[in-house]
Amino acid sequence: MQIYEGKTAFRGIAEGKIKVYRKDQQQIKREHAENTQEELLRFERAKGEALRQLTGLYEKALKEVGEANAAIFEVHQMMLEDPDYVESITNMIRTQKVNAAYAVASTGDNFSQMFSMMEDDYMRERAADIRDISERLVGILAGRTGSQMELTEPVILVADDLAPSETVQLDKDKVLAFVTVHGSSNSHTAILARTMNIPALFRVNIPLDDTVDGKEGIVDGYHGRIYLEPEPRVREELEARQAEERRKQELLWQLKGKENVTLDGRRIEIYANIGSFGDVAAVLQNDAGGIGLFRSEFLYLESEDYPSEEEQFQVYKKVAESMAGRKVIIRTLDIGADKQVGYFQMEPEENPALGYRAIRICLDRPEIFKTQLRAIYRASAYGTVSIMYPMIISVEEVDRIAEIVGEVQEELKQQQIPFGDVEQGIMIETPAAALISDLLAKKVDFFSIGTNDLVQYTLASDRQNPKLEQICDPHHPAILRLIRLIADNAHREGIWVGICGELGADLTLTETFLNMGIDELSVSPGLVLSVRKKVRETKLGEKYN
């Protein structure tokens, strides 16, 4: 028996035969091109075919994993048509008189290396995307068609890394688990794996050869291990754990329809976080009481231009109608930092996490903000819709938002367009907002605490930097004190307060949050029933000290 350890991207246990996926080593030779025009034409044809393939992948992913996760293939299309990338390839063909495949491969290597050297974690992840689109182009130029990864039986898939396009082409019924040598928990492949509920490990130092291929294995996603030809004792232990997890899940399903009430009678709302209309099915399936965070920025990230009022309205309306009266809280546009949109034409920043993002963009570009607000207000006539505004740091910002909202309401009234009674809330995710939450509470209907950003801003530590995992501690006393302060200030003014960051699903803190007076927790749809179970087992005591 051999044991290989790594990091967990998605928990779970999978047992079966191991399949090592080795990408074709595309040996690209530099060849002199007598006819550069012909090579340029071949490149343009290959680019067109690649765009067609990516459109097909987007449509396939849309059906299987929803809009938010399918968006990577639209990103790939944009990268494929990026002027710098295209110009580098065509210029190399013209000036160096080389074959198109060599120009693509060289440009891909150069751009990938540039991205991998960037300090920002998100931008480093784009190196894999550049490699993916370049390999696709080279494959088309070489005459290869179809998927290179056809599976004939259920397997544990082991690879150096998996590009999103490779992952989405897989027959999901035949993949028991993913194990990769490289990658990260923030890569698109890891996100897709979590969405598909496929156990996944990354940074596993496992050989990609015949010593592994075809052998029996067990992936333990709870402890970040893969066992090669496991001993009977280990197999029995993990199979027992797997059976126990299935039993727990079956018990959780029995909680559907039950109330979120503590042993001593206190009710708490448990909502779900979503990124697209495609996620609503999971919200309903897991019996969430509403949507506590609709990340509207994905409408912008998935578009090649500013989404129109009508386009946004149709999406918000569908979500509101599908939730059938349950609350839908839409967060206004939150781009910037690691979520860049090319057509916004924003200048590069030294520290984008502390820069021009979220509400700062909206207040600086009110025409964009008003378009979104009009769409949300129109959709509010079809359900129970609330709005919350991200990255607030001052009372003045909230006052300015109220002025713009008033203008939008007046416009809709004059045009005789119906709209509902829309709750106004803000996200508390900066230390500034937390410390003046007593003043902010007088201005709004609710608070939603964004713990992901609150943690990194309070502890001055980038939550995506793996070197800072121990420092970026969401259980830090400073974080818990701020959450209690926010809750106390909210209740003094008679407004409710929720948590929509990942900390809301931390079951070790559920009792603490309830004792602080938190009224609502918004978590990933698949975690709703686990949080409900914890709430129903909790008896409240003295408030957290």
**Distance between CA atoms of residues 125 and 118, nearest Å:** 10
CA nearest neighbour of 364 among 322, 335, 384: 335
pLDDT of residue 544: 38
Both 272 and 399 in one domain: the answer is: yes
In a domain, 436, yes or no: yes
For the cut 60, the answer to whether the pLDDT of residue 212 exceeds it is yes
For the cut 60, the answer to whether the pLDDT of residue 545 exceeds it is no
pLDDT digits (tens, 9 = 90+) for 464-508: 666 776 787 889 999 999 999 999 999 999 999 999 977 898 999
Kindly indicate the confidence band of residue 27, based on its pLDDT and cuts at 50, 70 and 90: low
Q: Classify residue 346 as exposed, middle or buried by CB count within 10 Å of its CB (0-12, 13-18, 19+).
A: middle
In a domain, 396, yes or no: yes
Q: At what angle do helices 121-141 and 36-80 cross, to 10 degrees?
A: 140
Is residue 429 part of an annotated ligand binding site?
Answer: yes
Both 186 and 238 in one domain: the answer is: yes
DSSP 261: B
For the cut 60, the answer to whether the pLDDT of residue 97 exceeds it is yes
Is the distance from CB of 198 to CB of 166 less than 8 angstroms? no
Instruction: Tally Cβ neighbours within 10 Å of residue 119.
Output: 10
Is the distance from CB of 4 to CB of 225 less than 8 angstroms? yes
pLDDT digits (tens, 9 = 90+) for 408-433: 999 999 999 999 999 999 999 999 99
In a domain, 542, yes or no: no
Show which of 251, 286, 304 is a domain's final residue: 251
pLDDT of residue 451: 92
Structure tokens that stand for 513 in this block: 């949050």
Both 206 and 224 in one domain: the answer is: yes
Number of domains observed in the structure of the chain: 3
pTM, rounded to two decimals: 0.61
For the cut 80, the answer to whether the pLDDT of residue 124 exceeds it is no
Both 342 and 440 in one domain: the answer is: yes
In a domain, 296, yes or no: yes
Is residue 360 part of an annotated ligand binding site?
Answer: no
Expressed as residue numbers, the domain containing 196 is 2-23+151-251
Structure tokens that stand for 438 in this block: 């007593």
Is the distance from CB of 366 to CB of 404 less than 8 angstroms? yes
CA geometry: angle 313, 319, 325, nearest 5 deg: 115
For the cut 80, the answer to whether the pLDDT of residue 524 exceeds it is yes
Both 521 and 466 in one domain: the answer is: yes
Show which of 221, 251, 281 is a domain's final residue: 251
For the cut 50, the answer to whether the pLDDT of residue 438 exceeds it is yes
**Distance between CA atoms of residues 243 and 15, nearest Å:** 12
Both 369 and 502 in one domain: the answer is: yes
The residue-averaged pLDDT of 529-542 equals 88
Reported residue count of the chain is 545
**Distance between CA atoms of residues 105 and 475, nearest Å:** 46
Edge-to-edge strand ranges of the sheet holding 200-202: 2-5, 225-228, 216-220, 13-21, 155-159, 175-180, 200-202, 7-10
pLDDT of residue 543: 46
DSSP 332: P
pLDDT of residue 145: 56
CATH at residue 454: 3.20.20.60
The residue-averaged pLDDT of 191-207 equals 78
In a domain, 229, yes or no: yes
Both 380 and 280 in one domain: the answer is: yes
Is residue 131 part of an annotated ligand binding site?
Answer: no
pLDDT digits (tens, 9 = 90+) for 37-70: 999 999 999 999 999 888 888 887 777 666 666 7
CA geometry: angle 300, 304, 305, nearest 5 deg: 70
Instruction: Please give the positions annotated as active site.
Output: 188, 500
CA nearest neighbour of 356 among 342, 371, 335, 370: 335
Both 387 and 485 in one domain: the answer is: yes
Both 16 and 51 in one domain: the answer is: no
In a domain, 345, yes or no: yes
DSSP 341: -
**Distance between CA atoms of residues 513 and 520, nearest Å:** 10
pLDDT digits (tens, 9 = 90+) for 454-467: 998 999 987 666 67
For the cut 70, the answer to whether the pLDDT of residue 338 exceeds it is no
Is residue 69 part of an annotated ligand binding site?
Answer: no
Is residue 463 part of an annotated ligand binding site?
Answer: yes
Task: Please indicate whether residue 151 or residue 312 has the higher confidence score (pLDDT).
Answer: 312
CATH at residue 125: 1.10.274.10
pLDDT of residue 516: 95
In a domain, 29, yes or no: no
pLDDT of residue 69: 64
pLDDT of residue 84: 85
pLDDT of residue 151: 79
Q: Which helix (H) or strand (E) holds 240?
A: helix 232-253
Instruction: Tally Cβ neighbours within 10 Å of residue 177.
Output: 27
Both 364 and 512 in one domain: the answer is: yes
In a domain, 8, yes or no: yes
Both 164 and 82 in one domain: the answer is: no
Is residue 453 part of an annotated ligand binding site?
Answer: yes
For the cut 90, the answer to whether the pLDDT of residue 217 exceeds it is yes
pLDDT of residue 121: 63
CATH at residue 223: 3.50.30.10
Q: Is 443 helix (H, G, I), strand (E, B) or coil?
A: coil
> Mean pLDDT, the chain, as a whole number?
86
pLDDT of residue 299: 85
Is the distance from CB of 181 to CB of 149 less than 8 angstroms? no
Show which of 190, 216, 251 is a domain's final residue: 251
Beta strands in 232-277 (DSSP E): 269-274
Both 315 and 428 in one domain: the answer is: yes
pLDDT of residue 489: 98
Structure tokens that stand for 320 in this block: 């509101």
Calculate what percentage of the chain has a pLDDT beyond 70.
88
